């Protein structure tokens, strides 16, 4: 037992050293006042340059579009890696599934379309309201999680989800490459910007966010599917 | 007290980070370590958001034309945290799948009993 106590004490000492060093630097950062000029630039010029009223969306998809492409790639690699790590285990014979009660299965059948509708609302309005492709995709995946937990017999078709995922990633890349064709650089906002604060505005931003919404939704559903099959 | 009210968000977020580091250093159960990783990601995200906050600030969305641009919080940390949340989900899923695989092979989640992972 003394070994474990030793380890805890060493851990605490290490933590105190880290805490001391970081507090010395954090105390220099004032709280609650504007710090960066680049953030001010985005707030003052974001609507004119991108057409999106949600400045965070314009930063994520326009000013830092490459970053989002890398992020989407990381999610793709994680989903692929999860499939590769778990898929090599031999599937056991199907366990006996107790069917869920009538209330539960009816409730999830009624709720499921509304969850999908809400998720697509969130990613369609990513340039107008707080939200976007990643959040909407997560909501759609939570709808499928409800189906998995509530209607115990339903299983999704993995291949269709893989096709959706690949197609939406392709749309993202093609829209980026079209910017290269029309204006000379990758992910250029080549479509007309429209009137800010309306649904059809902000050029390519809604298109990319719809693609990201489908992609994240199908990827997270694949992750849920893989993890539930193993348990 | 003034110090506390000025820095309470930093202290809370940094406290989460320290708790997570303590879990990662001293727990032996793999699932607990993964929970620690998740808390660590949350703490770091909260710290970044707290640094970008402006007193009495609103979200950087021009849903209403009367909003004052000088009063909006910094959008750059929020965009970075959006990225970081997605990546932490990816890390969590990957770590859980590796934990499932280790459990299938060794029939235990205790890292002291797994030969190559002794800590």
Alpha-carbon gap, residue A138 to B118, rounded angstroms = 36
Which of B62, B63, B119 to mutate to test binding with chain A, by most A CBs within 10 Å of its CB? Answer: B62
**Residue partners of A13: CB distance under 8 A and separation at least 6:** none
- 133-162 in A: which are within 8 Å (CB) of B? 134
DSSP result, A122-164: HHHTTTTSS--HHHHHHHHHHHHHHHHHHSTT----HHHHHHH
Of A38, A93, A158, A203, the residue nearest B79 (C-alpha): A38
* CATH number of the CATH domain containing B17: 1.10.287.3510
Alpha-carbon distances of A70 from A61, A66, A177, A181, B2, rounded to whole Å? 12, 6, 15, 21, 42
pLDDT of residue B45: 92
- A55 and chain B in contact, CB less than 8 A: yes
Q: Which among A35-44, A152-161, B45-54, B65-74 has the top mean pLDDT?
A: B45-54
Distance of residue A197 Cα from the nearest chain B Cα, in angstroms: 7
Q: Please indicate, yes or no, if residue B28 is contained in any of the structural domains.
A: yes
pLDDT of residue B116: 67
Phi, psi (5° rounding) for residue B61?
-130, 125
Task: Show the tokens assigned to A228.
Answer: 């539930």
Alpha-carbon gap, residue B17 to A125, rounded angstroms = 34
B106 pLDDT higher than 80: yes
Calculate the average pLDDT of chain B: 84
Alpha-carbon gap, residue B101 to A85, rounded angstroms = 7
Percent of chain B at pLDDT > 90 equals 16
**Residue partners of B48: CB distance under 8 A and separation at least 6:** B77, B80, B81, B84
CB contact under 8 A, A32 and B69: no
CB contact under 8 A, B91 and A85: no
Quick: pLDDT tens for A205-229: 888 888 999 999 998 888 888 887 7
A154 pLDDT higher than 80: no
Sort A134 into a burial class: Cβ within 10 Å, 0-12 / 13-18 / 19+: buried
pLDDT of residue B37: 92
Alpha-carbon distances of A58 from A107, B40, B49, B61, B62, rounded to whole Å? 38, 28, 18, 10, 12
Q: With contact defined as beta carbons under 8 Å apart, do A216 and A133 qualify?
A: yes
Parent domain of A226? 2-230
A60 pLDDT higher than 80: yes
pLDDT of residue A115: 92
Question: In the block, which residue shows the tokens 């110090």?
Answer: B3
Q: Please indicate, yes or no, if residue B86 is contained in any of the structural domains.
A: yes
Phi, psi (5° rounding) for residue B29?
-80, 130
A151 pLDDT higher than 80: no
- Domain count of the fold of chain A: 1
pLDDT of residue B39: 93
Over residues B53-66, mean pLDDT: 80
Residue A175 pairs with which residues in a beta bridge?
Answer: none
Nearest residue of B to residue A126, measured between CA atoms? B61
DSSP result, B22-76: HHHHH--BHHHHHHHHHHHHHHHHHHHHHHH-BTT-B-SB-SSTT--GGGBPPHH
Alpha-carbon gap, residue A124 to A98, rounded angstroms = 38
Which of B90, B99, B103, B119 to mutate to test binding with chain A, by most A CBs within 10 Å of its CB? Answer: B90
B8 pLDDT higher than 70: yes
- Domain count of the fold of chain B: 1
A15 C-beta neighbours (distance < 10 Å), count = 17
A194 pLDDT higher than 70: yes
pLDDT of residue B54: 82
User: Residues of B with CB below 8 A from A31's CB?
Assistant: 6-7, 9-10, 50, 53
Parent domain of B39? 2-55+67-117
Q: Please indicate, yes or no, if residue B60 is contained in any of the structural domains.
A: no
CB contact under 8 A, B76 and A38: yes
Question: In the block, which residue shows the tokens 């406290």?
Answer: B15
Has the ipTM of the complex gone over 0.90?
no
**Cα angle, residue B112 at apex, residues A17 and B25 outer, rounded to 5°:** 15
pLDDT of residue B20: 92
Task: Show the tokens assigned to A205.
Answer: 């931003």
Query: Which of A15, A34, A38 lies closest to B54 in CB terms?
Result: A34
**Residue partners of A96: CB distance under 8 A and separation at least 6:** none
Alpha-carbon gap, residue A222 to A228, rounded angstroms = 10
User: Residues of B with CB below 8 A from A34's CB?
Assistant: 54, 74
Between helix A205-230 and helix B75-106 the angle, nearest 10°, is 20
Over residues A113-123, mean pLDDT: 91
Chain centre to alpha carbon of residue A198: 24
Q: Could you tell me which residue, A62 or A94, shows the higher pLDDT?
A: A62
């Amino acid at each position: 037992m003394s070994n474990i106590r030793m380890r805890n004490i060493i851990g605490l000492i290490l933590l105190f050293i880290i805490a001391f060093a970081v507090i010395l630097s954090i105390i220099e950062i004032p709280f609650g006042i504007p710090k960066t000029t680049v953030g001010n630039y985005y707030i003052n010029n974001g609507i004119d340059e991108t057409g999106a009223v949600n400045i965070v969306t314009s930063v994520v998809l326009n000013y830092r579009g490459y970053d989002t492409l890398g992020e989407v790639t990381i999610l793709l690699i994680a989903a692929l890696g999860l499939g590769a790590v778990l898929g090599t285990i031999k599937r056991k014979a199907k366990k006996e599934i107790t069917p869920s009660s009538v209330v539960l299965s009816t409730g999830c059948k009624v709720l499921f379309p509304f969850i999908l509708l809400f998720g697509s609302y969130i990613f369609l309005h990513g340039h107008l309201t707080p939200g976007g492709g990643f959040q909407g995709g997560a909501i759609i995946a939570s709808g499928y999680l409800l189906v998995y937990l509530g209607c115990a017999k339903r299983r999704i078709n993995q291949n269709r989800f893989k096709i959706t995922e690949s197609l939406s990633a392709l749309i993202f890349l093609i829209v980026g490459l079209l910017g290269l064709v029309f204006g000379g650089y990758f992910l250029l906002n080549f479509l007309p910007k429209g009137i800010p604060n309306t649904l059809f505005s902000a050029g390519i931003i809604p298109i990319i966010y719809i693609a990201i919404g489908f992609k994240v939704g199908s990827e997270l559903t694949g992750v849920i599917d893989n993890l539930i099959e193993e348990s | 007290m003034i110090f506390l009210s000025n820095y309470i968000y930093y202290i809370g977020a940094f406290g989460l980070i320290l708790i997570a580091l303590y879990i990662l250093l001293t727990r032996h159960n793999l699932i607990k370590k993964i929970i620690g990783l998740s808390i660590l990601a949350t703490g770091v995200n909260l710290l970044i958001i707290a640094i970008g906050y402006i007193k009495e600030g609103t979200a950087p969305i021009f849903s209403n034309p009367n909003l004052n641009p000088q009063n909006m919080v910094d959008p750059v940390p929020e965009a970075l945290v959006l990225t970081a949340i997605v990546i932490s989900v990816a890390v969590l899923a990957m770590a859980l799948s590796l934990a499932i695989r280790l459990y299938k092979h060794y029939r235990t989640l205790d890292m002291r009993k797994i030969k190559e992972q002794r800590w």
